Amino acid sequence: MEENHFIAKKATPIPWTTFWEAPSNIALIKYWGKTTPQIPKNSSLSFTLSSSVTQTQITYQPAGSGTFDFSFYFEGVAKPDFKPKLQTFFKRIEPYVPWIEGYELTIKSSNTFPHSSGIASSASAMAALAMCLMDLELKLFPGMETELFHQKASFLARLGSGSAARSVQGPVTLWGANKIQDHSSDLYALPFGPDLHPVFSTYQDAILLVDKGTKAVSSSQGHQLMHQHPFAPQRFLQAAENLEAIVPVMKAGDLEAFIKIVELEALSLHAMMMTSNPYFILMKPNTLAIIKRIWEFRASTSIPVCFTLDAGANVHLLYPQDYINQVNTFIREELAVFCQKGQYLLDQVGEGAKKV
Ligand code: 2P0
């Protein structure tokens, strides 16, 4: 589908309030490197999460033609410092939602996961915002097909933050033009589809909070550094190969192959960071200590746990629901000690954004 397919018409403003929540997601095949506007250099695939969500309410107030303004509150507090990022977002999406002219928006947002937990909230935040926008678009132009509704929501979310494209639907989504999936696109993410092996629709993700501070290098800077990266062409090829390899694995439920690809992707992402110029390291000593324990636990129990990493020090421990008791005991007894203040979040794969 082309961009112009997503261009809506103008409409007379109406008062309207809508409230949506959208989850965070964790990439298995990583997006790292992009061109303007948020076009990924390689396709990515992720688990949509369930409990880690952003809830966003928008009140749309008609405010006279030619005007557009908004105020933003995070967890009940006005946050004017978030305004520039949101302004950039609204400017980017304006051609696709021209009906937005003539409104004053009050945007109220909050996260269910702890503030500054080192969990990237841009994906859930931008996806929740996109759902609220699409909700009014559907009200103004009834009859839009559900598929188009989701694709445009993902398209708008992507223009806010690339990985947000993958937070609209679940339990597994794929973003980026690829050879494997029909109708795949760099413009929006699509659900993996009905061929997904059932083991993955209840997969568990324990987020081990190793470091809750602000990252030394932001994801935006990290993406930027891929432009002159000496290994970038090889990395984009590797990601494409890993995507091609993981798709049949996710249909077959082959956990041994799944683990090999997922851990390779996590460490390849961080290898890109460590070999950027300037180079940087987001892992902490406890990130490595946890990885070592996970490998030992897997070797000694044959329980198919594995890890992945986001752009940060936290470790996502992934495991099938069948092993929840053994793994949660392992986390409590052996891994919590490496987490900041012993904190971790138990989440699982979920179905995507929903109306509150
Ligand atoms: C991902 N990450 O696939 C990768 C892996 C982090 C590590 O997408 O600049 O916040 O908003 O498009 O989506 C983080 O980057 O970047 C990210 P922008 P985003 O999830």
DSSP string, 290-340: HHHHHHHHHHHH----EEEE-SSS-EEEEE-GGGHHHHHHHIIIIIGGGSG
The type of residue at 337 is V
Q: What is the pLDDT of residue 2?
A: 87
Residue 1 has pLDDT above 80, yes or no: no
Q: What is the pLDDT of residue 113?
A: 85
State in Å: Cα 75 to ligand 1 middle.
23
Residue 145 has pLDDT above 90, yes or no: yes
Binning pLDDT at 50, 70 and 90, where does residue 105 land? Answer: very high
Between 119 and 190, name the one with better pLDDT: 190
- Mean pLDDT calculated for residue range 104-110: 97
Percent over 70 (pLDDT), the chain:
98
Q: From CA 322, how far away is CA 27, in angstroms rounded?
A: 22
Binning pLDDT at 50, 70 and 90, where does residue 117 land? Answer: low
Dig out the tokens for 200 from the structure.
């993955």
Give SS3 for 112.
coil
Nearest residue (CA) to ligand 1, atom 8:
163
State in Å: Cα 300 to ligand 1 middle.
34
194-252 pLDDT, tens digit each: 999 999 999 999 999 999 777 889 999 999 999 999 999 999 999 999 999 999 999 99
Instruction: Tell me which residues have their CB closer than 6 angstroms to ligand 1.
Output: 27, 30-32, 34, 38, 44, 120, 122, 161-163, 219-220, 223, 269, 310-311
- Mean pLDDT calculated for residue range 103-129: 89
Between 117 and 350, name the one with better pLDDT: 350
State in Å: Cα 220 to ligand 1 middle.
8
This prediction's pTM: 0.96
Under 8 Å CB-to-CB from 222, ≥6 apart: which residues? 32, 272, 273, 276, 280, 311
Which atom of ligand 1 is found nearest the CA of 25? Answer: 20
Q: What is the pLDDT of residue 27?
A: 98
Q: What is the pLDDT of residue 13?
A: 96
Under 8 Å CB-to-CB from 122, ≥6 apart: which residues? 160, 161, 163, 164, 219
Residue 326 has pLDDT above 80, yes or no: yes
Between 213 and 137, name the one with better pLDDT: 137
Which atom of ligand 1 is found nearest the CA of 163? Answer: 13
Which atom of ligand 1 is found nearest the CA of 158? Answer: 12
Which atom of ligand 1 is found nearest the CA of 309? Answer: 7
Which atom of ligand 1 is found nearest the CA of 34? Answer: 12
Percent over 90 (pLDDT), the chain:
91
57 vs 53, 106, 283, CA distance in Å?
13, 8, 35
- Mean pLDDT calculated for residue range 286-290: 98
Residue 305 has pLDDT above 70, yes or no: yes
Which atom of ligand 1 is found nearest the CA of 30? Answer: 3
Buried b (16+ CB within 10 A) or exposed e, 40-71: bbbbbbbbbbbebbbbbbbbbbeeeeeeeebe
Residue 116 has pLDDT above 70, yes or no: no
State the chain's mean pLDDT as an integer: 96
Judged by phi (left if over 0) then psi (alpha if -120 to 50, else beta), residue 206 lies in: beta
Nearest residue (CA) to ligand 1, atom 4:
31
Cα 185-222-317 angle, rounded to 5 deg: 80
Which among 26, 30, 31 is the best mutation to test ligand 1's pocket, defined by most ligand atoms within 8 Å of the CB?
Answer: 31
17-42 pLDDT, tens digit each: 999 999 999 999 999 999 999 999 99
Dig out the tokens for 237 from the structure.
């090829």
Q: What is the pLDDT of residue 66?
A: 86
Nearest residue (CA) to ligand 1, atom 14:
219
Which atom of ligand 1 is found nearest the CA of 29? Answer: 3
Which among 161, 187, 262 is the best mutation to test ligand 1's pocket, defined by most ligand atoms within 8 Å of the CB?
Answer: 161
Q: What is the pLDDT of residue 121?
A: 84
Q: What is the pLDDT of residue 36?
A: 94
Backbone angles phi, psi at 172, to 5 degrees: -130, 135
State in Å: Cα 163 to ligand 1 middle.
5
State in Å: Cα 32 to ligand 1 middle.
7
Q: What is the pLDDT of residue 110?
A: 96
DSSP label at residue 56: E
State in Å: Cα 27 to ligand 1 middle.
9
76 vs 271, 344, 352, CA distance in Å?
39, 25, 24
53-82 pLDDT, tens digit each: 999 999 999 998 889 999 999 999 999 888
Nearest residue (CA) to ligand 1, atom 9:
220
